[in-house]
Chain A
Amino acid sequence: GIQVEQSPPDLILQEGANSTLRCNFSDSVNNLQWFHQNPWGQLINLFYIPSGTKQNGRLSATTVATERYSLLYISSSQTTDSGVYFCAVERIAGNNRKLIWGLGTSLAVNP
């Protein structure tokens, strides 16, 4: 089946720094999402981005579907950005729609 790999697995930043998180996937996908899970476990949908670039405040994401990767950019990081960032890809096969998750990038932003 399709593999989703995220890098780096762990990241420590100083407040104010910028970072890029990467998601590679092994086959063509119909859609891709980025999520943030805060330290209390709440998962928040950040971007629904099958291709192209989207921006939301200090966060932006770019998916290059033909090259099978997506990038999540965090600029001017804040301590509230800490948590785990997940990439999930959607694969549609007939009536079966599957969401396949990466293992996440654990980010700690220090004050």
Chain B
Amino acid sequence: KAGVTQTPRYLIKTRGQQVTLSCSPISGHRSVSWYQQTPGQGLQFLFEYFSETQRNKGNFPGRFSGRQFSNSRSEMNVSTLELGDSALYLCASSTEWAPNEQFFGPGTRLTVL
């Protein structure tokens, strides 16, 4: 079974731009969660989607948004990028029976200049 895939793997943007990241979960997994990881801050939970609905949300500003499609693929969007948004963005998928037994993708490393 293929693992979680994320695209793109690396991205360089400038302040003020917007970016969209994509995540394809493991086949059969309907829950997708997004995390931001920065040095010294650990993993910060962004949001979780299940069946095309946002089920949980972390404490991030409204510039961070997401959505999930009927095939469980998810996208995350960040508008009006700031330097502090530079981070590794991780996506994790899980089943509906064990939503917090999460399997992670390789991440998208975003650099904002």
Contact = CB atoms under 8 A, between A and B. Distances in A.
Nearest to A4: B42
Interface residues of A, number: 21
Contacts of A28: none
A26 B63 CA distance: 32
Interface residues of B, number: 20
Contacts of A102: 42
A101 B56 contact: no
Given A42-B104, A45-B104, A97 B43 contact: no
Classify the secondary structure of B's interface with A.
Answer: strand
A42 B106 CA distance: 5
B90 interface: yes
B56 A41 contact: no
A109 B105 CA distance: 24
A86 B42 contact: yes
B23 interface: no
Most buried by A among B98, B101, B109: B101
Contact of A43 (B45, B90, B99, B101): B90
B35 to A, nearest CB: 8
Contact of A90 (B43, B100, B103): B100
A97 B107 contact: no
